[in-house]
Amino acid sequence: MEINAVLTLQHQEDSFAGKLYLFPPFLCFVSLDRKSVRFTIPLSTIRRVERLNSRAGVFALSLVLWHGMKMIVQLTSMRSTAEAFCDRLRDGLKVQLQLGQMKQVKPFAKTLYSETLCGDSLPAEKSKDGETSPLVDVGATAAAAKMGVEDADDGGEYHRGLGSEFKFPGDAKKLREASKIKLWTAYLRAHGRHLTLARYPQCTRLIQVGLPNRLRGEMWETLSGSLYLRFANPDVYQSILKEHDGKTSMSTEEIEKDLNRSLPEYAAYQSEKGISSLRRVLTAYSWKNPELGYCQAMNILTAAILIYMSEEQAFWLLEVLCDRLLPGYYSPSMHGTLLDQRVFEALVQRCLPLIHEHFTSVDVQLSVASLPWFLSLFINSMPLIFAFRVIDCFFAMGPKVLFQVGIIIAILKINGEKLLEIQDDGAFIHLMRDYFASLGDSAHPNSSDPRVKNITNFQELLLVAFREFSVITDETIISERKRFRAGVTSTLESFSKRAAIRNLKFTGRFSKDQCGAIYDLLFKAIWEEPPRGTGVTGSVDSTGRPETRISMNTFKQFLCYVASWARNELVVSNGFQQRIQRDVVDHALINRLFYSWDYSSKGALSLQDIVMGLEGVMFNDLMSNIEWFFKLHDKDKDGSLSKDEVLQLSESLLFIFRNEPGDAYLGAVSRFMTNAFEYGDSLLEKGDDATGDPEEAPTNQPYLTLPTFRMVVLADEILESFFDSDLSASFRFDEPAAPLPDEPTGLLGGLMSTILTKENKNLFNRVADEIGKTIGKHQVDQRPAIGKLGKELALQEPKPRETLLTPRQRSASSGAAPSASSPEPSTLSSQSLPNVSQLSLSERTPVPPVTPLIPTTIVMERQTFAIDAAKDDDEEEDSMYAIGGDDDVMDEVDAFLEAHDSGLTDAQKAEAQGEARIRSFGAASDIFLV
């Protein structure tokens, strides 16, 4: 809940108008200009709320925080709103009290150095809340610590970084530590501290001159917001460490490699103490965020922040950095890094067009130099003391600082016009390196005024950065990131696609483009149906690169795209649109393929497996296809099929032919079975006369060999043609001249293309179907997998070839064959009930819309599976066009819409009726979608 308010702090003269927000468990304030004053305080730090005696029309609250600071907020919204706000605030506070959060504040504060700074000055005000002496104690221990007493285990001890033991970088005197601390102490006393810090303009100024070393860690936490995470998640860091103690992962191995090479020049990282702190923080984070794991540069960053803060503080700061401040910078794809480089280049182009132009003309990429700046926040580019000051501003003001500072480096160089002289990457990098090295030098060495002379390059850098480039706001960055996101993503995608294809060890007869098509379909399938199960995750290929593997469920989805028999393809027309709907199917044949393609027996397929698998079938001729199919069903690889396997093979064939029109394929399969068993039995008899009755032979005995299988297949025209070309051709990557345009046309089509997400599309399709059903225009047709046989052909049974059995064989096996084959036709024919009626029709589309208002008019009643009617349907369709059935459709639509309009509000109705029919149509659909 938000409300207009005017904020005044006790003992402060300034008041600021702004907005007060209540997001339990936080209370936030932002001044109207969005930068002068801000605070975010947990409700649990509020100890007392009083309604002040109101003068006429003034509604003011006094909030007393746990350390006694008082702030007055005057609620300037309407009285009822103000009262509602107070109610919410009261409820929120009650919840916090019940949760026991109030009690957490004081122990938490003890971990912070600012309590040591300010603590001893406020005992009097404390007593109001019944909190008396503890704070003094904190002050005492801290004071003791300051004097060099090491007692890290003391619970009352504030968190500190390695710097307190190994010294902070830079000369304390030169950095004017003492006076900075004095200023900050005064500020923190007046404006709250850590959890309750209110940021006034003075705060920003103090940050810009550099935070004092001892306070730096805490202020980073506070400014970045990681403090709130640490407050809300006590003990999480320790428990992550405990839980994963002794475990290793890819990330921990990578971390181990880099531990000795993180700020190695800093004393702490030459000692076991520093190294093990670094190890703990990095590994804990890699366990917390396993998807990100560990990225080089994080080691440098972490090593740097550990100088100023404790492990736990650093852990949470790292979380905020990776998650919020530098999103995607350290992820495995590093998309955030690439994205921000693009943004940076765009900003340079906008702010410094001359430089950008020059760089383009000499073909120098900014990112060659700027990338490490962003990745390690200047820590390994600038001298440490300056890098830390940039980081101060970064935490206080957000990522825009990097862009401002980054750009500024360019602008400062433009002063000497040196940048415009460089001709290549190398000169650019050298220039930058020299400049960084000179940051501590005077910017005006020749000035006679000593004060001017004392201004260092770094000071000038910050000055120009914040004064001249304040036009770069967080909003700029956010919108620029948005602008480039799609581009960067597609670059990355095409990059990983190229790499994946390049790394294929075997591509066989596939061209690069074909491999690309397989890759695309594979990832389309993964997107649609994410792989699950073992063997899928954590796979790495031979070069240690993470490898994508898919499980059975994804494979089915994939095959559904690739093989025409591995999907149920429905042509749905509902009077408005016609679309093809593809559904995944399930059959033992698909499982068989999956396992036969799993060349490394991992229970999951890689891109390589799939390429090899497809290669093994898509280029086959008649003989090799027959062999391929045979082997697919020869589970024990003994070179012959058992009776069971022959049955399974027949089932597979029937599965493939299930949607073919006519009985021809069905007939072919049943003939195949008859022949196969005839042969098998005759061979079996001939082979071992001794065993007696062939019917009693176990069903898992070798029964049919490849040559016999081949002969049986070749005995049938349809099967021969299937194995000759149809099987291989049933695998296709491209959508070959889709009979129906995938993108719907016409009025609703236009509407459809604006409905971007898949869910909306599905919803839309459902709605359209419903309308179609209501007006009797809905129909669904199966499309055949092969579709080779036209209706004419399907209607007449192809003549079976003469059986190849010699008369003697035939007479010998005549007794056995029928018993085995007779049940088949009756049980299986129902599976493959062909549905031919609309076949020719759907293939002849797209039907041109007759009027702009009627997208596709295929006006037919739902057809039963009438093979004979196919011809008539065509005629009927034609006649519908001729006599202008379109009007009828439109009338029906209108009637339907009117019925729906009655349920609309008046406003909607007015809109719907007042506009053209097109509009009313759209409005109605919108409502359905909502």
Partner 1 sequence: MADNAETSAVPDKPIQVKLVLLGEAAVGKSSIVLRFVSNEFQANKEPTIGAAFLTQKCRLEDRVLRYEIWDTAGQERFHSLAPMYYRNAQAAVVVYDVTKATSLEKAKSWVKELQRQANPNIVIALAGNKVDLVTASSAAGASGAAASNGDDDEDEADDATATPGEDAGEAENPEGLRQVPKDEAQAYATEAGLLFFETSAKTGEGIVEIFTEIAKKIPIDHILNGRGGASRSAAAGAAAADAVNLQNNAPKGKSPCSC
Among 120, 129, 323, 425, binds partner 1 (CB under 8 A): 425
Beta-carbon-side half-sphere exposure of residue 794 (alpha carbons within 13 Å):
27
Residue tagged 């790292």 (tokens): 318
Q: Which stretch binds partner 1 (CB under 8 A): 89-97, 417-425, 570-578, 670-678?
A: 417-425
CB of 433 to partner 1, least distance (A): 8
Is residue 49 within the footprint of partner 1 (CB under 8 A)? Answer: no
Query: What is the secondary structure of 109-123 as a DSSP string?
Result: HTT-HHHHHHGGG-H
CB of 425 to partner 1, least distance (A): 7
Q: Which stretch binds partner 1 (CB under 8 A): 295-303, 595-603, 617-625, 813-821?
A: 295-303
Helices (H) and strands (E) in the chain, counts: 45, 15
Nearer to partner 1, 209 or 334 (CB): 334
How far apart CA 101 and CA 45 sit, in angstroms, is 9
Q: Is the peptide bond before 531 cis (omega within 30 degrees of 0)?
A: no
CB of 338 to partner 1, least distance (A): 7
CB of 441 to partner 1, least distance (A): 23
List the one residue out of 576, 572, 570 whose CA is nearest residue 775.
576
How far apart CA 723 and CA 623 sit, in angstroms, is 8
How far apart CA 432 and CA 382 sit, in angstroms, is 10
Among 90, 103, 545, 844, binds partner 1 (CB under 8 A): 545
Considering only residues 482 to 521 of the shown chain, the ones binding partner 1 according to CB under 8 A are 492, 495-496, 498-499, 502-503
Check: CB of residue 83 under 8 Å from CB of residue 23: no
Among 415, 423, 454, 762, binds partner 1 (CB under 8 A): 423
Nearer to partner 1, 288 or 635 (CB): 288
Among 201, 290, 426, 818, binds partner 1 (CB under 8 A): 426
Is residue 258 within the footprint of partner 1 (CB under 8 A)? Answer: yes
Among 260, 276, 454, 879, binds partner 1 (CB under 8 A): 260
Check: CB of residue 519 under 8 Å from CB of residue 586: no
Strand partners for 17? 6
Among 46, 263, 401, 853, binds partner 1 (CB under 8 A): 263
Nearer to partner 1, 337 or 782 (CB): 337
CB of 261 to partner 1, least distance (A): 5
How far apart CA 550 and CA 553 sit, in angstroms, is 8
Considering only residues 311 to 330 of the shown chain, the ones binding partner 1 according to CB under 8 A are 330
Dihedral angle computed from the Cα positions of residues 685, 687, 691 and 697, in that order, rounded to the nearest 10 degrees: -70
Residue tagged 């063997």 (tokens): 535
Length of the chain: 930
CB of 398 to partner 1, least distance (A): 22
CB of 373 to partner 1, least distance (A): 9
How far apart CA 206 and CA 211 sit, in angstroms, is 7
Nearer to partner 1, 543 or 601 (CB): 543
CB of 133 to partner 1, least distance (A): 48
Is residue 818 within the footprint of partner 1 (CB under 8 A)? Answer: no
Q: Which stretch binds partner 1 (CB under 8 A): 331-339, 469-477, 622-630, 883-891?
A: 331-339
Is residue 296 within the footprint of partner 1 (CB under 8 A)? Answer: yes
How far apart CA 903 and CA 925 sit, in angstroms, is 13
Q: Which stretch binds partner 1 (CB under 8 A): 104-112, 544-552, 580-588, 692-700?
A: 544-552
Dihedral angle computed from the Cα positions of residues 225, 226, 230 and 231, in that order, rounded to the nearest 10 degrees: 0
Residue burial 669-707, b: 16+ Cβ < 10 Å; e: rest: bbbbbbbbbbbbbbbbbeeeeeeeebeebeeeebbbbee
Considering only residues 1 to 20 of the shown chain, the ones binding partner 1 according to CB under 8 A are none
CB of 918 to partner 1, least distance (A): 47
Q: Which stretch binds partner 1 (CB under 8 A): 158-166, 293-301, 629-637, 676-684?
A: 293-301
How far apart CA 237 and CA 288 sit, in angstroms, is 9
The pair of structure tokens assigned to 859 is: 């006006």
Nearer to partner 1, 304 or 683 (CB): 304
CB of 387 to partner 1, least distance (A): 13
Is residue 551 within the footprint of partner 1 (CB under 8 A)? Answer: no
CB of 332 to partner 1, least distance (A): 5
**How far from chain centre, in Å, is Cα 539?**
20
CB of 322 to partner 1, least distance (A): 13
CB of 846 to partner 1, least distance (A): 40
**DSSP single-letter state for residue 43:** G
Nearer to partner 1, 492 or 793 (CB): 492
Is residue 456 within the footprint of partner 1 (CB under 8 A)? Answer: no
| Angle made by CA atoms 864, 572, 727, in degrees to the nearest 5 | 85
Is residue 254 within the footprint of partner 1 (CB under 8 A)? Answer: yes
Among 22, 297, 522, 607, binds partner 1 (CB under 8 A): 297
Q: Tell me the CA end-to-end span of the chain in Å, nearest whole number.
A: 26
Helix axes 335-351, 367-375, angle to 10 degrees: 120
Nearer to partner 1, 28 or 492 (CB): 492
Q: Which stretch binds partner 1 (CB under 8 A): 99-107, 108-116, 205-213, 261-269?
A: 261-269
Q: Give me the helices (H) in 634-757, please.
A: 643-656, 664-687, 706-714, 717-721, 727-729, 746-754
- The secondary element (H helix, E strand) that includes residue 842 is helix 839-844
Is residue 331 within the footprint of partner 1 (CB under 8 A)? Answer: yes
CB of 334 to partner 1, least distance (A): 6
Binding mask 361-400 for partner 1 (x = CB under 8 A): --x-x-xx--xx--xx---x--------------------
Nearer to partner 1, 499 or 929 (CB): 499
Nearer to partner 1, 263 or 768 (CB): 263
Among 424, 878, 898, 915, binds partner 1 (CB under 8 A): 424
CB of 537 to partner 1, least distance (A): 16
Among 15, 76, 77, 333, binds partner 1 (CB under 8 A): 333
Considering only residues 830 to 869 of the shown chain, the ones binding partner 1 according to CB under 8 A are none
CB of 410 to partner 1, least distance (A): 17
Please report, for residues 355, 750, 771, 848, the alpha-carbon distance to residue 894 in angstroms, rounded to integers and kept in the order given. 62, 19, 11, 21
Check: CB of residue 555 under 8 Å from CB of residue 566: no
The count of chain residues that interact with partner 1, using the rule CB under 8 A, is 47
Cβ contacts of residue 314 below 8 Å, gap of 6+? 161, 281, 302, 305, 306
Among 6, 41, 72, 295, binds partner 1 (CB under 8 A): 295
Check: CB of residue 29 under 8 Å from CB of residue 37: yes
How far apart CA 572 and CA 781 sit, in angstroms, is 6
Check: CB of residue 402 under 8 Å from CB of residue 326: no
Is residue 289 within the footprint of partner 1 (CB under 8 A)? Answer: no
How far apart CA 343 and CA 366 sit, in angstroms, is 11
Among 334, 346, 780, 869, binds partner 1 (CB under 8 A): 334
- The secondary element (H helix, E strand) that includes residue 877 is helix 870-883
Query: What is the secondary structure of 779-802 as a DSSP string?
Result: EEEEE-SS--S-HHHHHSPPPPPP
Question: Which residues here bind partner 1, judged by CB under 8 A?
Answer: 254, 257-258, 260-264, 295-297, 299-300, 330-334, 337-338, 363, 365, 367-368, 371-372, 375-376, 380, 423-426, 429-430, 492, 495-496, 498-499, 502-503, 542-546
